[in-house]
């Protein structure tokens, strides 16, 4: 057996800007460009729609402030998986990680890549048969990039994050200064009964804000993680909150509410064409493509780290292979390949959107448990110095808990069969955990 000294490890080389771009880049995908109509439709008025985006961002910010305290105390690779293990025990950490590496992570990657394939087919006027190959090809290329040293993936994340901010800035500036609509007080004559009301509008924005926690998966690769991780999470969520609210205001200031409801997912495309001419739609498509590529890069960087962290503890089948770190790049190459293969299979044979939706419920269950963990950690270690303390404690984590409970209750009400199926997916991990524990008791 090789000595610990000769074994390659992950590179702790990511700085503040890399971490910040990961937070912003993994949150901003396509939601802000295509959810304007659905949020407005559920909210029932322009004022309520803006409040929904603002409230969703504030709830997300309280979640980030809460997780920042936990993450600063546990700056290790694995994020939520590590937090659950440290707070509640190894089986709960395993189940949170199992759910993310077996279904949620690959399905999220597959979902974004599938939609990106649709955009690329439309952009280049190709046959629809190219959608799946293009989606798989994109994630393969991004996967290859992330097999080099993490600074390359981080640099690409910074570039794509800056690129996606350009169309956002254009929408904000043009909407604010050239719009002539009143963005407040316009009610819709017809509110879709199937979409619920203000609560469902907030729920839609919470999903659009989700993804920020993935930067915690790289805790073992961030320089000074006790300092940088909280800063990146809090500033990143704050920037996204401001961007989302201003984009929504800019669109509502430029396009009448009834027109937005009629346009549906084409609202932002219509905005670009009306503001910048026929070329505006294509430029916006480029911006959305860059946005989604950056979002994919962030997820491909982060999800394999959970698989690697679990394999390093011998909690997964083929742990020796999955925990392999390339000696030159210091990247978990095998874990990255496995996650991308799973995502590619989902693109080809399943509806990845449906698979990822099934796990939203369980993800938020683990979110709630981690938020509660802030109280447990303070009670267990009252005298222990904390690198970062949640401001506004205990109100801030309580708001985060209530926000997550709102998502959970909404999911149960909207899709009880899906919730039950998500439980089955998690429970499949139980025999795997105990099998691995029996064979690797010292590692588990």
Does residue 341 surpass a pLDDT of 90?
Answer: yes
What CATH architecture is 11-439? Up-down Bundle (1.20)
Q: Are 217 and 150 in contact (CB under 8 A)?
A: no
Partners of 222 in beta bridges: 14
Round to whole Å and give the CA distance between 173 and 171: 6
The token pair that represents 157 in the structure block: 């994340």
Phi, psi of 109 (to 5 degrees): -60, -45
Q: What are phi and psi of 234, to 5 degrees?
A: -70, -50
35 or 394: whose pLDDT is higher?
A: 394
In this predicted model, what pLDDT tens digit does every residue of 218-261 receive, in sequence order?
777 788 888 888 899 999 999 999 999 999 998 888 888 888 88
What is the percent of the chain where pLDDT is above 90? 30
Give mean pLDDT, residues 266-287. 79
Mean pLDDT computed over 320-330: 84
Task: Give percent of the chain with pLDDT exceeding 70.
Answer: 92
State the first-to-last Cα distance of the chain, in angstroms, to the nearest integer: 19
Angle at 302 between CA 297 and CA 305, to 5 degrees: 140
Could you give the CA distance from residue 150 to residue 116 in angstroms, rounded to a whole number?
24
| Residue 27 · residue 212 · CB < 8 Å | yes
Q: In terms of Cα–Cα distance, which of 303, 238, 227, 249 is closest to 60?
A: 238
pLDDT at 429 over 90: yes
Which phi-psi region, left, alpha or beta, contains residue 277 (left: φ > 0; alpha: ψ -120 to 50)?
left
Angle between helices 267-276 and 225-254 (to 10 degrees): 70
pLDDT: is 1 or 280 the higher one?
280
Q: Supply angle C-alpha 274, 280, 281, rounded to 5.
A: 95
More confident position, 180 or 275: 275
Q: Is the pLDDT of residue 334 over 60?
A: yes
* CB of 72 closer than 8 Å to CB of 406: no
Q: Is 77 helix (H, G, I), strand (E, B) or coil?
A: strand
State the virtual CA torsion across 186, 31, 57, 192 in degrees, nearest 10: 40
Closest CA to 142 of 26, 264, 31, 28: 26
Highest mean predicted confidence (pLDDT) among 20-29, 214-223, 324-333, 417-426: 417-426
Integer Cα distance of 240 and 185 in angstroms: 24
Closest to 319 measured CA to CA, from 439, 154, 420: 439
pLDDT-derived band at 77 (thresholds 50, 70, 90) equals confident
The answer to whether residue 97 scores a pLDDT higher than 60 is: yes
Count the Cβ atoms, other than its own, within 10 Å of residue 431. Answer: 9
Do you know the residue count of the chain?
444
Structure tokens at 425: 């997916």
Q: CA–CA separation, 88 vs 149, rounded Å? A: 33
Whole-number pLDDT of residue 193: 44
SS3 360: helix
Average the pLDDT over each of 92-106, 171-185, 196-210, 343-357 and give the range with the smallest value.
171-185
In the structure encoding, which two tokens stand for residue 369, read together?
A: 């448990």
Enumerate the domain spans of the chain: 11-439
- For residue 430 the two structure tokens come to 């139980």
What mean pLDDT do residues 280-300 have?
84
Structure tokens at 159: 């570039």
Q: What is the pLDDT of residue 191?
A: 46
Q: Give residue 4's pLDDT.
A: 44
Helix (H) or strand (E) holding 138: helix 131-145
* Least confident window among 13-22, 335-344, 369-378: 13-22
Whether the per-residue pLDDT at 317 is higher than 50: the answer is yes
* 3-state secondary structure labels for all residues of 219-256: HHHECCHHHHHHHHHHHHHHHHHHHHHHHHHHHHHHCC
Kindly tell me if the per-residue pLDDT of 383 is higher than 90: no
pTM of the full structure: 0.84
pLDDT tens figures, 154-212: 788 888 888 878 888 888 888 888 776 766 666 665 544 444 578 888 888 888 888 88
């Amino acid at each position: 057996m090789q000595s610990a000294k000769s074994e390659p490890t992950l590179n702790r080389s990511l700085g503040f800007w890399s971490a910040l771009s990961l937070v912003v880049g993994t949150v901003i995908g396509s939601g802000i460009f295509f959810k304007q109509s659905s949020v407005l439709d559920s909210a029932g008025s322009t004022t309520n729609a803006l409040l929904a985006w603002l409230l969703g961002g504030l709830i997300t910010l309280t979640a980030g402030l809460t997780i920042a305290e936990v993450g600063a105390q546990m700056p290790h690779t694995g994020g939520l998986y590590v937090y659950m293990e440290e707070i509640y025990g190894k089986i709960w950490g395993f189940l949170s990680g199992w759910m993310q590496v077996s279904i949620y992570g690959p399905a999220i990657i597959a979902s974004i890549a599938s939609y990106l394939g649709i955009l690329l087919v439309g952009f280049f006027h190709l046959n629809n048969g190219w959608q799946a190959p293009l989606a798989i090809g994109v994630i393969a290329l991004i996967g290859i990039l992330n097999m080099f040293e993490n600074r390359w993936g981080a640099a690409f994340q910074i570039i794509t994050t800056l690129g996606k901010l350009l169309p956002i800035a254009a929408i904000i500036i043009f909407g604010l200064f050239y719009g002539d609509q009143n963005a407040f007080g316009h009610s819709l004559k017809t509110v879709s009964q199937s979409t619920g009301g203000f609560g469902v509008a907030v729920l839609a924005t919470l999903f659009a804000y989700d993804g920020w926690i993935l930067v915690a998966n790289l805790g073992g690769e961030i320089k000074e993680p006790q300092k940088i991780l909280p800063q990146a999470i809090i500033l990143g969520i704050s920037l996204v909150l401001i961007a989302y609210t201003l984009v929504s205001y800019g669109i509502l200031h430029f396009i009448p509410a009834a027109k937005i409801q009629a346009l549906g997912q084409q609202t932002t495309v219509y905005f670009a064409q009306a503001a910048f001419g026929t070329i505006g739609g294509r430029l916006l498509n480029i911006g959305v493509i860059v946005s989604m590529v950056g979002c994919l890069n962030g997820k491909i960087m982060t999800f394999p780290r959970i698989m690697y962290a679990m394999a390093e503890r011998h909690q997964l089948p083929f742990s020796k292979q999955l925990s392999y770190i390339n000696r030159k790049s210091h990247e978990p190459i095998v874990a990255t390949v496995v996650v991308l293969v799973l995502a590619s299979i989902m693109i080809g044979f399943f509806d990845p959107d449906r698979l990822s939706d099934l796990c939203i419920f369980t993800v938020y269950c683990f979110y709630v448990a981690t938020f509660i963990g802030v109280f447990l950690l303070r009670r267990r270690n009252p005298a222990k110095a904390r690198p970062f303390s949640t401001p506004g404690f205990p109100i801030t984590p309580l708001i985060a808990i209530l926000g997550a409970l709102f998502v959970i209750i909404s999911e149960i009400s909207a899709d009880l069969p899906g919730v039950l199926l998500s439980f089955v997916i998690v429970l499949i991990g139980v025999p795997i955990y105990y099998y691995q524990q029996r064979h690797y008791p010292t590692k588990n």
